[in-house]
Amino acid sequence: MANEKMVKSITSMDEDFAKWYTDVVIKAELIDYASVKGCMIIRPYGYAIWENIQRLMDGMFKETGHENVYMPMFIPESLLQKEKDHVEGFAPEVAWVTHGGEEKLEERLCVRPTSETLFCDHFKNIVHSYRDLPKLYNQWCSVVRWEKTTRPFLRSREFLWQEGHTLHATSEEAKAETIQMLNVYARFAKECLAMPVVKGVKTAKERFAGAEDTYTIEALMHDGKALQSGTSHYFGDGFAKAFDITFTDKNNNLTHPFQTSWGTTTRLIGAIIMTHGDDNGLVLPPPVAPIQAVIVPIASHKEGVLETANAMFEDIKTVCRAKLDDSDQTPGWKFAEYEMKGVPLRIEVGPRDIADGNCVVVRRDNREKTVVPIKELAQRIPELLNAVHEGLYNKALERREEMTYDARSLDEMIEIAENKPGFIRAMWCGERECEDALKEKAGVTSRCIPFEQEELDGKCVCCGKPAKHMLYWGKAY
Amino acid sequence: MANEKMVKSITSMDEDFAKWYTDVVIKAELIDYASVKGCMIIRPYGYAIWENIQRLMDGMFKETGHENVYMPMFIPESLLQKEKDHVEGFAPEVAWVTHGGEEKLEERLCVRPTSETLFCDHFKNIVHSYRDLPKLYNQWCSVVRWEKTTRPFLRSREFLWQEGHTLHATSEEAKAETIQMLNVYARFAKECLAMPVVKGVKTAKERFAGAEDTYTIEALMHDGKALQSGTSHYFGDGFAKAFDITFTDKNNNLTHPFQTSWGTTTRLIGAIIMTHGDDNGLVLPPPVAPIQAVIVPIASHKEGVLETANAMFEDIKTVCRAKLDDSDQTPGWKFAEYEMKGVPLRIEVGPRDIADGNCVVVRRDNREKTVVPIKELAQRIPELLNAVHEGLYNKALERREEMTYDARSLDEMIEIAENKPGFIRAMWCGERECEDALKEKAGVTSRCIPFEQEELDGKCVCCGKPAKHMLYWGKAY
């Protein structure tokens, strides 16, 4: 245990942010690399975070009337091709199954990159009348996209996600659903991940393949890069027409229904790491932390220490996900270990504390120490966890505000993009040409047209013609 | 709604059991057929059963100290080939990915048929010392086996399952784990599925590819066929040697660890259907039923009926998964619908009941009616659900006992196999030749060597030589 500190030391953020990120995912034991390039093994601690995300988000889906289903993982090539824009968007990056056992398949199957086509095929079978609508479905599964460059959680060839797919009698209903689910994502980001997000709509260029509109929540990472953290798509009746889905409406007319889909992925774990993490490792928002409070006994060989620590553990495990570490590692090793793993509260208890009837609670987010009477500990923990959550959210929001810049000319935009990592707010005329030019000249992409608009200027930052919208621009993961 | 009865009518079991089964899975809305042959779409009602199975079983896994992880869905061909018996067993039935986007892969990848090889590859990375052991892992995922003949839930090309994979310092520990998990499965079958099972060990012929021993729980279906419902494998250190997994033991010797794996699948839903179902459809054991009690108001247009039904619903939803069906379908339609869906308790309430302060509770398993004072309903529901569960278990156990026959000669075995569907108990010498001969002559396979042995005879039912074990034989899914 001599080199304990060395074993767990990580690159500092300022030195090399990408390396810091990789160090954290490995040292906090979130993942291991797999034998297939670009895929990852999600280890117990990482998977427990995902299970918490699933449980909390699934609760929100069920509150809003959604049901879970499971679709096959394979899509026949002919089915993928039914919607033109969709196949163009996905075909270049799918994995193809060509053989079953020793036999060559008559038709190639792709491993689902997303399941719109499968849901459409199913909807066609089960929807006939307005009485069958709406269908409000979701599935939790893994999908595959054969990416060239990959990074754990942020971009991997296989990833876990949820994909909602809904079908409605009217376009108004479908549009309302699209916005409702974007709001669910934004609420989840705030309440469960302590992560502030900008809500908005994507430009035509950045839309999902086959969608009429793509809405997004965009978060800002520590290094000033944007992370698209959840998207919600309105399809109109385009897929329904391509797949020939019809229903008899209340007036007995045969008509096409309207569709949405929306998704979030294990990328959210990457978002947590890069929003809250620090040079000591992971910092987890309490709602998704596998361990919310860890008790570290000090001088545990002394009489009464382990007994007290055990009693405290029995007491607090009723109010939070608690752990008592009574292993033979040193307290120093344990402090570093649980800091690396981002446990929101550390509770220290030693002979002197016990003599005073107290323990010391240390917050992971700001290292603030609070002396708490042992008998009040269980009662105080919820408020301390709330304090960590609010602290994390406010710190992230403050940082985002500090790192959001306004540009009123192309030169200003280039200057900010080169020197100041963060979001850039700027006006835009609505033309694809200007969007492309900004990418080329300033190296930024449009993140979204935010719902909360503000007129920074009357003219487009790029061409100077009358502006239509204020946009968030930035470099992105 | 005129032909409501017709719409939901199904083939009777006696007429055509296979057709009855298919009718139930479709009419109870458990599945829809998918565009890929041999795959299935699990619809909300079917998936809700699986979610209950997952939740309850996962709780048992966590109680016994297991952690969930997620492994990639792809296995490189070279990795699959590392353990000789394993690759021989699985290679003929895997789906092969040969292309990523437009590029041909350097090495083919199979879609996991099971993940021993992936876990071994990971264990090799993370296990170094006895302090790292045991590793007690599980994962919930989908797997693919390219079967020729498929049936919903029972045998499909893709299915959902859990696969436990554990690594231990000693063979004793690994053996104890194998048996412990078989017992967990047997307890789950009884407590959550109301399904009696025979616990035992497979013959060498029926072992999992690569295992030293395969333990199984075998259930008997309505039609007298056996269903292997869960298996637990002891691997010795065979995989560890093939994958070069080593650790330093307490005496500082480098040695190989010992391994297990164990799994259950969506096949359990097929087991529920064929254990408890009847000519009116599905019959669900309460622990996994998506709806445990449904309230059907009678003459709901009459004053006070819907109000009372609503109040009852608010009351009972705190003690069970409840539903109030206040739709405009007739009570008769609703009765048939919820019988088809196997809801354990139906609660009828109409004006006359309300006048008396009562409602009528009807059990799905035996149609027994109980008049219950409305104000006692919530309090009585748990015992009524228990009664359904016990009723189902006892009926299934009784049937299995009636359908279990002893054979003391080959002629007797052939006669029973031809005329009496069910389990056949018979003595066996332990030779593969006799096992093969029984398959050929009587059309039965060995199901297991049960833990509970009984000496029916001194000699093998096939060759007449001294017998080693009493076995369960039968036709199987």
pLDDT digits (tens, 9 = 90+) for A133-189: 999 999 999 999 999 999 999 999 999 999 999 999 999 999 999 999 999 999 999
Closest chain B residue to A48, measured at CA: B68
Q: Which residues of B11-45 are buried (b: 16+ CB within 10 A; e: fewer)?
A: bebeeebeebbbbbbebbbbbbebbbebbbbbbbb
Cβ–Cβ contact A120 with B under 8 A? no
Question: Which positions in chain B touch A98 (Cβ < 8 Å)?
Answer: 96-99
State pLDDT tens for residues A441-456: 999 999 999 999 999 9
Task: State the pLDDT at residue B307.
Answer: 96
Question: Which positions in chain B touch A157 (Cβ < 8 Å)?
Answer: 100
d(CA A249, CA A257): 9
* Facing B41 at nearest CB: one of A76, A122, A160: A122
Report the pLDDT averaged over residues A457-467: 95
* Facing A126 at nearest CB: one of B32, B34, B121: B32
Please report where in the chains the tokens 């057929």 appear, as a residue: B33
Task: State the pLDDT at residue A6.
Answer: 45
Task: State the pLDDT at residue A85.
Answer: 87
Contact B69 A47 (CB under 8 A): yes
- Work out whether the CA dihedral A8, A9, A12, A18 comes out positive or negative: negative
Question: Which positions in chain B touch A102 (Cβ < 8 Å)?
Answer: 92
User: Residue A7: is its pLDDT beyond 50?
Assistant: no
Using a cut of 0.90, tell me whether the model's pTM lies above it.
yes
d(CA A166, CA A259): 6
ipTM of the complex: 0.95
Report the pLDDT averaged over residues A113-141: 97
Tokens read off for B121: 């590859």
Cβ–Cβ contact A41 with B under 8 A? yes
State pLDDT tens for residues A49-81: 999 999 999 999 999 999 999 999 999 999 999
State pLDDT tens for residues B197-234: 999 999 999 999 999 999 999 999 999 999 999 999 99
Q: Which residues of A303-327 are buried (b: 16+ CB within 10 A; e: fewer)?
A: eebeebbeebbebbbebbbbbbbbe
Residues 169-228 of chain B with CB under 8 A from chain A are none
Name which of B374, B379, B378, B363 is nearest B307 in CA terms: B374
B144: helix, coil or strand?
strand
Please report where in the chains the tokens 């998977």 appear, as a residue: A47
Identity of the residue numbered B403: M
d(CA B191, CA B59): 13
Please report where in the chains the tokens 């199979």 appear, as a residue: B110
Q: Rounded to 5 degrees, what angle do the CA atoms B341, B343, B346 make?
A: 125
CB-CB neighbours of A244 under 10 Å? 10
State pLDDT tens for residues B64-115: 999 999 999 999 999 999 988 888 889 889 999 999 999 999 999 999 999 9
User: Residue A5: is its pLDDT beyond 70?
Assistant: no
CB-CB contact of A299 with A220 (8 Å): no
Contact A111 B111 (CB under 8 A): yes
How far is residue A44 CA from its own chain's centroid?
Answer: 18
Report residue A8's pLDDT band, with 50, 70 and 90 as the boundaries: low
Contact A34 B72 (CB under 8 A): yes
Of the CA atoms within 13 Å of residue A201, those in its CB half-sphere come to 16
Tell me which residues of chain B have a pLDDT lower than 70. 1-8
Q: Identify each DSSP E strand in A368-413 by its residue range.
A: 369-373, 404-406
Contacts of A415 (CB under 8 A, 6+ apart): none
Task: State the pLDDT at residue A353.
Answer: 94
User: Residue A123: is its pLDDT beyond 80?
Assistant: yes
Report residue A86's pLDDT band, with 50, 70 and 90 as the boundaries: confident
Cβ–Cβ contact A26 with B under 8 A? no
Our CA-based measurement puts residue A99 at a distance from the nearest CA of chain B, in whole angstroms, of 5
* Facing A47 at nearest CB: one of B70, B118, B144: B70
Task: State the pLDDT at residue B8.
Answer: 59
CB-CB contact of A188 with A386 (8 Å): no
State pLDDT tens for residues B358-388: 999 999 999 999 999 999 999 999 999 999 9
Name which of B260, B259, B243, B257 is nearest B132 in CA terms: B257
